[in-house]
Amino acid sequence: MKKNEVPQDKSNLESANIKEMYYAVDENGEYTTELSTGWDPKTIALDNAIKEIEERTEIARQKVLNDKASPIEYYMELHKMDVGILASYMGMWAWRVKRHFKPSVFKKLSKNTLQKYAEVFDISVEQLKHIDK
């Protein structure tokens, strides 16, 4: 795209006074960089992704409040992780992390395991045990 065609649509980046860098062709046909305040299709895609994450987090929160899941599942969603990422941070197999999603298993976790989860989520063990209603 040409330098004068770089999108300058309104986006969430604009309110944070952040600009993205795009490559464009200048008047001489040379590649150069140009700053952009946003691009509508990208903004829509990011907004949709954020809404989906918020929905998954709320579903996980409700599961915890209804004793259908442990707080680990909620905090994993809140921190935009999946089981594989959380397992790698914990240094354990993904099936073990998934097993810890069960409230009955969560209640039996050792202090060391709870502390490690708390460190991964950057919260206290007490916060890990009890989510806000």
**What are the distances in angstroms from CA 19 to CA 32, 86, 100?**
16, 31, 41
pTM exceeds 0.85: no
State the Cα–Cα distance between residues 24 and 34, nearest whole angstrom. 7
In contact, 73 and 64? CB cutoff 8 Å = yes
State the Cα–Cα distance between residues 111 and 93, nearest whole angstrom. 19
Round the average pLDDT of the chain to a whole number and report it: 90
In contact, 116 and 88? CB cutoff 8 Å = no
User: Mean pLDDT over residues 91-100, rounded?
Assistant: 98
pLDDT of res. 133: 58
State the Cα–Cα distance between residues 39 and 21, nearest whole angstrom. 12
Per-residue pLDDT at 12 exceeds 70: no
CATH for the stretch 53-129: 1.10.260.40
**Cα angle value 38/40/46 (rounded, 5°):** 85
Which residues are 4's β-sheet partners? none
* C-alpha dihedral, 48 to 50 to 53 to 54, nearest 10°: -110
Q: Which of 27-31, 38-42, 93-97 has the lowest mean pLDDT?
A: 38-42
Indicate the domain borders of the chain: 3-38, 53-129
